[in-house]
Amino acid sequence: MAALKFFTLTDLSVVLLSVLVLLQICSAQNRHQCAPSSCGNIPINYPFRLRVEPEHCGYPLYELVCENTNVTVLYISEGKYQVQAIDYNNLTIRLVDAAVQKDNCSTIPRHSLLRPNFTAASPFNWIESYNEQPRVATFMKCLNPVKKKDFPRYVDTAPCVNGTPYSYVMLGGDLTDVGDACTVELIVPSSLPIRGDIGNVSFLDVHNDLVDGFELVWYQVTCISCRGAEVCYLLSGSTPDCSASTESFFSGIEYTFKYQRLLILLIIGVIVVARLIFLGPCVLGFVIFRWRRRHLSMFEGVEEFLLSQNNFTPVRYSYSDIKKMTNNFRDKLGQGGYGSVYKGKLRSGQFAAIKLLLSNDSKGNGQDFINEVATIGRIHHVNVVRLVGYCAERSKRALVYDFMPNGSLDKYTSSYGGADGNVVLSWNQMFKICSGVARGIEYLHRGCDMQILHFDIKPHNILLDENFIPKVSDFGLAKLRPAASNNTLSLTAARGTIGYIAPELFYKNIGRVSYKADVYSFGMLLMEMAGKRNGPTNPVDSSGSYFPNWVYNQVVSGEVESGDTTTTTTTEDEKVVAKKMVMVALWCIQMKPENRPSMGRVVEMLEGELETLPLPPKPGLYPDATPVIGEEGYSDESSWSSSLYSDETISLVTSSE
């Protein structure tokens, strides 16, 4: 095998060497002199060449075009420029925009030319000193006339360039000198002074400067001796070769051995390419196999779960059924990080909301999809959204729910009204909604054989049907656990939405994660329903205010009312509802989990009398500021403040029916 490898490498080297020699023979026979040429009065020498000349004469990036036998043209960044002169000693070339005419001052350049046009790959560069700003002329159009004293660098283009809006040229400066009512049309190089008094400069002077053109420098290339050689051409399109006109066949062979290191590199490159050609398909096949195996395992995990659930009532739909229901996904209701929601219609004529999950969301082997189907597919409650069906067709996944015509609760918690700008919920409606949400969460915690922890309670995930009955939805972050297990569980990372996440998911010293995390999220939901999340309306100094603390202080001082901005009167029942929602919310958002009530107790507090509610401890902003109270998490009634029933009030967001 080693002998075979050696023979193969030796044979390949001989073949490559023979090919190079043959190519050199052909090149030596076909070479011809690249004599200097001209276009008009512009001499064309190395490294420049005309487009009609052979490609091996000069560099491709220095190609010129001779138009009408006497006009030399160079194209830069899609701009057309006439060549005025070429200085081969100083390596400079003078250009002028082809649109500028000498005896017509109304002609202006057609293309901008700036320093960013000359990158590292560009053969030309801008000529400027390190201590000098770029000499440029900026053409602008302004809506209003510009005063010379306010903008001394501006030169009026009238009477050469007239029209509305007003036209000006700014000499030097930068874009910060452009007036508010002016827009930049183009920026071109200029040779006019950019410092000192330019008040005497007219647009005719600017136009004459444009006619004179500007200079660019080109990079010095190898083979400087090509300027005096009889023959000057490029090998392989980029390597220059300069020699006498009497070169022979042997000069090609001499060149080959002179650059033997290049030959070795070529041989190595060919070997590497050959290996890639033969090994590439194998590597590609292996990658495809691993990709398919990973995704098939993900699909199999979902399928195994669905096959193991024999007591599911939701219907399994095909992806074609989903497309028919949504009329090819025509009516889009919303979009989030999980995917998109579309309005559909079942065969029975009932409307449905169809959540189409992202096809590239493969984290956790489809765990979010399994969570949603496993939780919501096994429960039935008036305050939990009903899963009508689902689709699991390889990477295509969708969930079919009952359609909620009134959308989500987040559209109604703002003080500016509802989803349509004119639908406003009354305090009684808000109270019924929060009570329904509490009963729905309480059912998830204790209503079935498996305890379901939602971990993402927020207004966006509370849907409202045609009668504004709330439905808890979106179980993608939910956790299932046996109802008889202990109250705590372990999580590898915090889950939920910022602002509603319980603090124990961040601070391990507060307590273990349990169903009390949903209680905290519900408390923040109540806070948002009862008052403005953005803080107090008229505090003396709200720069450091923490809204729950501010509400608590108002409760303790007895300054609580329903601040209805849509009516001049507020009933006593509405005041009681507002106070009760605030009291329950303050209990639910206690820093330590053991200080929060269970959702069953929350339902009792909402349905009970206000006078029976004990005053909650003050919410702590930091873990070490949280007070430690009794085992049940409630203070005794002796701590109740009678000032809660005083006539002094705090303003909360509300509205009338």
Rounded CA-CA distance 296/307 in Å is 16
Rounded CA-CA distance 209/189 in Å is 10
Which of the 8 DSSP states describes residue 14?
H
> What type of residue sits at position 112?
S
Q: Calculate ∠ Cα 280-282-283, nearest 5°.
A: 65
- Contacts of residue 463, Cβ cutoff 8 Å, sequence gap at least 6: 385, 404, 406, 407, 408, 409, 470, 471, 473
Q: Are 548 and 587 in contact (CB under 8 A)?
A: no
Per-residue tokens: 150: 């306010």
Between CA 370 and CA 387 the distance in angstroms is 13
Q: Distance between CA atoms of 161 and 168, rounded to whole angstroms? A: 9
Q: Pick the closest to residue 226 from 64, 71, 62 (CA basis).
A: 62
Phi then psi dihedrals of residue 628, to 5 deg: -100, 125
148 is in an annotated binding site: no
Helix, strand or coil for residue 374?
A: helix
DSSP string, 281-348: HHHHHHHHHHHHHHHHHHHHHHHHHHHH-TT--SEE--HHHHHHHTTTTTSEEEEETTEEEEEEE-TT
Residue 97 gets the label, from left (phi > 0), alpha (psi -120 to 50) or beta, of beta
CA distance 552 to 616: 9
Residue 456 falls in the annotated catalytic set: yes
> What's the Cα-to-Cα distance from 208 to each of 85, 101, 170, rounded to whole Å?
17, 10, 15
Distance, CA of 474 to CA of 457 (rounded, Å): 9
DSSP calls for 503-525: GGGT-TTT--EETHHHHHHHHHH
Structure tokens at 557: 């001082």
Collapsing DSSP states into helix, strand and coil, what is residue 184? Answer: strand
Residue 236 tokens, joined: 């392989």
The distance of Cα 656 from the centroid of its chain, to the nearest Å, equals 41
564 vs 410, 419, 424, 547, CA distance in Å?
Answer: 19, 18, 11, 19
Query: Where are the strands (E) in 190-277, listed by range?
Result: 214-218, 231-235, 239-243
Alpha-carbon span 130 to 442, nearest angstrom: 73
Question: Among residues 241, 368, 456, 564, which one is catalytic?
Answer: 456
Known binding residues are 355
Instruction: Indicate which residues carry an active-site annotation.
Output: 456
Known binding residues for ATP are 355
